[in-house]
Structure 1
Amino acid sequence: MIHDKDDLIEVTVAAGGSAGSRMDVRRGKIIAAARHLFAENGFHNTGIAQISKLSGVLVGQIYRDFANKEEIVAEIVERDLQPYLSDERLDRAVEAGDAQGVRAWIAYFIAGDDTHDSRLVAEIIAESTRNDRIAAIFRSVQVRLQRTIVAALEMLAPQPEKARRRAILADVILTMSGGIFQRRMAQSGPIAPDLIAALTGAIYREIDLLRQS
């Protein structure tokens, strides 16, 4: 996370590094600069030229990596979601039939992450209300997250006749996680552990009912 532009991207590429690693470093510089500028100035007040200046990546190269600012936002969202969408702990728990592991991942998802820059997220959310392409990114994110949660719940309660209940509970978990995130942004700080525990406990009870009935 960038808190000051002087912290920005002190990444170097070793001599002889692969083209892929150089591309990853370059894209990382672009994303880091965009994060900082979007949070500081807003989406509309940030231009590709500014991202180029802060990142040290030429404007033409930025456009070769990203067709527009919306694609940069999509990459930011993708990177922030990776801990949830590609979590090896959840994959291992599902494959092993580890119910406690799946429940622990659901608790982790509900609690969310305190490290995200709330200014950036607030700016992207606001932009989604007036930009169809950003709104589409968010819809896609919601669908992918819901599928991930449903797959976890299916391991706990695999009966076909429970598909609708699994989908509803997945939506409840998504809504709860979103609410916690909004609360965290509003109060500019971490959520009380007791509140997280109470909300997680409510979801655990719903999971138990799903598995029993």
Structure 2
Amino acid sequence: MDPQPSARDLRHRQRQDEIITAARHCFRQSGFHAASMAQLASEAQLSVGQIYRYFTNKDAIIEEIVRRIIDQRMAELSEHTHTPKLPALLAWCEVPDEDDQALMLEVAAEATRNPRVAAMLADADHRMFHHAVSTVQREHPQFSEERIRACVEVLAVMVEGTAYRRLTPQKASAERLQVIYQQLLQQLFENEDP
């Protein structure tokens, strides 16, 4: 059994959470490049020096934001991989955390310029992909490894494409899209291995 965290550990975690909350707000407003450490400090009501006690640099803050988003997505994936919720999410009937979606798009853009952020994104994708593969294996043990990986890749394209498409006005009704996504997912997960 894990020991209870000390008051000092709890305070450290609380400060990190405050910094992450401030950083998320600043990054959403200004982007990663334009958001300065001074802006983050002001938003968190801390000094820049205090922020450096908790995070070595802006990339470390980005890394923690990405880790938290991916952890949340993995938890959601474990609950909703092949349920009616997934087509509803894809069809925009149910909207996931829009800040998370926007921040991950920001991460993807930053990854084209910053090798460290590119490595973070690759690690996040690796974690999500392997978690999804494990989840689909549990739900469809009859599928070959190759089929499972292909199904997860198609799911990733649909989910990530949907995140990008949310930046534009939806061109079809959510209800109609949900039906189509449900049909696509049923076909994707048919028992017959092609």
1:109–1:21 Cα change, 3 Å: farther
- In structure 2, do the counterparts of structure 1 residues 113 and 141 end up closer, same or farther at CA, with 3 Å as the change threshold? farther
Q: Which has the higher contact order (CA 8 A, sep 6+)?
A: 2
Q: Which moved further from structure 2: 199-208 or 127-136? A: 199-208
2:118 pairs with one of 135, 151, 172: 135
Confirm whether residue 186 of structure 1 aligns to residue 168 of structure 2: yes
The alignment status of 1:169 with 2:151, answered yes or no, reads yes
Closer, same or farther: CA 50–182 of 1 in aligned 2, 3 Å: same
Unaligned runs of 5+ in 2: 1-5
Cα–Cα, structure 1 residues 173 and 136, in superposed 2: closer, same or farther, change >3 Å?
same
1:203 partner letter: L
Structure 1 residue 82: deviation in Å? 2.5
Describe the SS at the equivalent of 2:21.
helix
Paired amino acid for 1:158: P
Give 1:124's aligned residue: 107
Change over 3 Å in CA distance of 1:105–1:194 after alignment to 2: closer
- Residue number in structure 1 paired with 2:97: 115
Structure 2 residue 49 is the aligned partner of structure 1 residue 60: yes
Distance 1:102 1:126 in 2: 27
Aligned length: 184
CA distance 1:73–1:184, change in 2 (3 Å): same
> CA shift at 1:106, angstroms?
7.5
Contact 2:89 2:96 in 1 (8 A): no
Cα deviation code 1:111-160 (max 9, x no counterpart): 3844322654443322111111111111111111111111121113324x
5 Å matches for 1:1-213?
18-87=7-76, 90=78, 102-104=81-83, 107=86, 111=90, 113-117=95-99, 119-159=102-142, 162-187=144-169, 192-208=174-190, 211-213=191-193
1:176 deviates by 0.6
Deviations along 1:50-100, one digit per CA (max 9) or x if unpaired, are: 21111022322311221111111111122222232134x837xxxxxxxxx
CA distance in 2, matches of 1:145, 1:158: 19
Q: Indicate how the Cα distance of structure 1 residues 187 and 20 shifts in structure 2: closer, same or farther if over 3 A, else same.
A: farther
Once residues 29 and 152 of structure 1 are traced to their aligned partners in structure 2, the CA distance between those partners, rounded to angstroms, is: 33
Q: Please tell me the residue identity of whatever aligns with 1:57.
A: L
Secondary structure of 2:141's partner? coil
For residues 176-202 of structure 1, the C-alpha deviation after alignment (integer angstroms, 9 at most, x for no partner) is: 1001111112238xx824313312321
Kindly tell me: are residues 123 and 84 of structure 1, through their superposed partners in 2, closer, same or farther at Cα, counting changes over 3 Å? closer
- Gaps (5+ residues) in structure 1? 1-16, 92-100
CA contact (8 A) 2:66 2:104 kept: no
- TM-score w.r.t. length of structure 2: 0.81
Q: Percent identity?
A: 28
Q: After superposing the two structures, state which structure 1 stretch, 31-40 or 53-62, moved more.
A: 53-62
Give the stretch that moved more between structures: 54-63 or 176-185: 54-63
Query: Which TM-score applies when normalising by structure 1?
Result: 0.74
- CA gap 1:49/1:109 in 2 versus in 1, 3 angstroms: farther
